[in-house]
Structure 1
Amino acid sequence: MFPLRDTITYHGATLATIGLIILNGIVFLYQFSLGINVFPEFFYTFGFIPDIFFQDPIGEFSTIFTSMFVHGSFLHMLSNVWFLWVFGPAVEGRLGFFRFMLLYLLAGIAAALTQGFSLPESTIPMVGASGAVSGILGAYLILFPRARVLTIIPPFFFFFFWLPVPIYLGYWILIQFVYVFYEVAGIAWWAHIGGFFLGLVLVLFMRPKRNYRADPFWECWRDYC
């Protein structure tokens, strides 16, 4: 299910969200400028590799952060920053710049460690912002349980559905567990799960700095704004 927008119209400043999107784009452009043949070397230098990390956690700790800004392809990068663009502004509006960044980075750390502990002997680099973005999704579910998400559901590409956030994100996290169960390779599913639940729990300790309001079109949600 592909999200297009939500029903939250009052965001406030979104400097962190926009800054993270720009930074991810700049890093990818730099990767691309080096040539596709250099991608594997780039991944092994800046990606999070569980086997190497657990041999030298202090020396390799920086790769947890660098891996959040490295992506395997343009589509990989675009999908992550799109989810950040849809769900990030509302969360940042509630938490403010610094708490939003703290949540994002801690979710990224939790994502990497969850993936690492699930496959401690893996020598495959984990890259991408999806773990950190998953933390934003978890926080969104707690902060905006009454919001809705405008969604495209394949194969109905010409139809749009307004799905309640609990249904949309509930389905999203369920799919992560399904892929883990069936051992679908190629994506760090455990990282998504770890980041999501860190965001879900951590935001409970971060007092939102302002209330929010939903799109006036959805008058029935006004009581929850």
Structure 2
Amino acid sequence: MFPIRDHNPSGRTPYVVYILMALNIGIFLLYWPIMSEPYRIAAFFQDWALIPAEVSMGSKPLGLVTSMFLHGGFLHLAGNMLFLWIFGDNLEDEMGHGGFLFFYLLSGIAAGLAQVISDPGSQIPTVGASGAIAGVMGGYLLLFPKARVDVLLIIIIFFKVFTVPAWVMLGLWFALQLFNGATSTAGAGGVAYWAHAGGFVAGLLLTLPLWQRRGGPQFWQKTDGKPPHPDAVYSRSTVPKVRRRR
């Protein structure tokens, strides 16, 4: 189950979201040619990824930032960019371009620190924008808990798109990160669950001042937890019927 779009249009062009997406995609394409060469890609990630053990010892702290713009494969990149595309524009709309960029980077750094704290001796390189984007999701949940999100559910060969409130989709996602983080062996599975959870909490906390300036609970009462403007309306696509020739 994953989101494919929300019904929450933004009031301004999300230039920072576009720039972040372009940077992530462009950087990935630059090192894509060496992805099939294990020694070269390992050396590259050793230099630029987040390595918890080294950060714990006070070396290579820059990895907390550079790792946010690296990905381990095309699907990893595509999934992160989808989430950024869906949820990022609305936060940039509320925070402004510069404020959103600062928020995004802080959320990513907080996510990296959460991963370091969860496994301080790990030598495994950690890459991906997931932690920063988890922060975006946390901020989105606080501001727009009842925004409508279209979710694609896939069960073997069954495909279904349905609409749920943002708090359902984002709450389930966060609960899964906590569950998987608590039940997974450190370093196993290749997913930094604690970075996701840490980024989500950081994003929520970083958005609190903005939410309070908007009126706090009164902001929810005024908007009913939904976007402060009309929902986007999408036309339903239908499969054309073909008449049988007699």
Q: TM-score, normalized by length of structure 1?
A: 0.90
SS at match of 1:154: strand
Greater relative contact order (Cα < 8 A, sep 6+): 1
* Code of the aligned partner of 2:172: Y
Counterparts of 1:79 and 1:158, CA distance in 2: 18
Which residue pairs with 1:2 in the alignment? 2
Residue 93 (structure 1) aligned with residue 97 (structure 2): no
For 2:35 and 2:129, locate their aligned partners in 1 and report how far apart those are by CA, in whole Å: 21
The gaps in structure 1 that reach 5 residues or longer are 219-225
Question: How many angstroms apart in 2 are the aligned matches of 1:144 and 1:171?
Answer: 16
Q: Distance in 2 between matches of 1:61 and 1:116?
A: 11
**Structure 1 residues 35 and 200: alpha-carbon distance in aligned structure 2, compared to 1, 3 A threshold:** closer
1:25-74 per-position Cα deviation (integer Å, ceiling 9, x unaligned) = 01100111345212211111100101111212xx4121111000011101
Tell me if 1:26 matches 2:20.
Answer: no
- Whether contact under 8 Å (1:10, 1:214) holds in the other structure is no
* Aligned counterparts of 1:16 and 1:216: Cα–Cα separation in 2: 21
Q: Offset at 1:158?
A: 3.0
The share of aligned pairs that are identical, in percent, is 40
1:40 aligns with: 42
**Matched residue pairs, number?**
214
AA paired with 1:2? F
Residues 203 and 44 of structure 1: CA distance in aligned 2, closer, same or farther (over 3 Å):
same
Report the equivalent of 1:193. Answer: 197
What's the counterpart of residue 176 of structure 1? Answer: 177
Q: Aligned partners of 2:7, 2:47: CA distance in 1, in Å?
A: 40
| 1:162 partner SS | strand
Alignment of 1:1-225 (within 5 A): 1-37=1-37, 38-56=40-58, 59-155=59-155, 157-183=158-184, 185=188, 186-206=190-210, 207=213, 212-215=228-231, 217=233
Deviation at 1:146, TM superposition (A): 1.9
**Contact 1:10–1:212 (CA<8 Å) still a contact in 2?**
no
Greater C-alpha Rg: 2
Q: Counting helix residues as a fraction of each chain, which structure ranks higher?
A: 1
Moved over 4 A (4+): none
Give the corresponding residue for 1:223. Answer: none
Secondary structure of 1:159 counterpart: strand
Report if aligned partners of 1:47, 1:66 keep a CA contact under 8 Å in 2.
yes
1:193 aligned partner, one-letter code: A
Q: What one-letter code is carried by the residue in structure 1 that aligns with 2:109?
A: I
Q: Contact conserved, 2:70 with 2:127, CA < 8 A, in 1?
A: yes
Superposition deviation, residue 2 in structure 1: 1.4
Deviations 1:8-34 (A, max 9, x none): 123412000010000000110011134
Measured in 2, the distance between the counterparts of 1:205 and 1:83 equals 23
**Is the alpha carbon distance of 1:217 and 1:80 closer, same or farther for their aligned partners in structure 2, counting shifts above 3 Å?**
closer
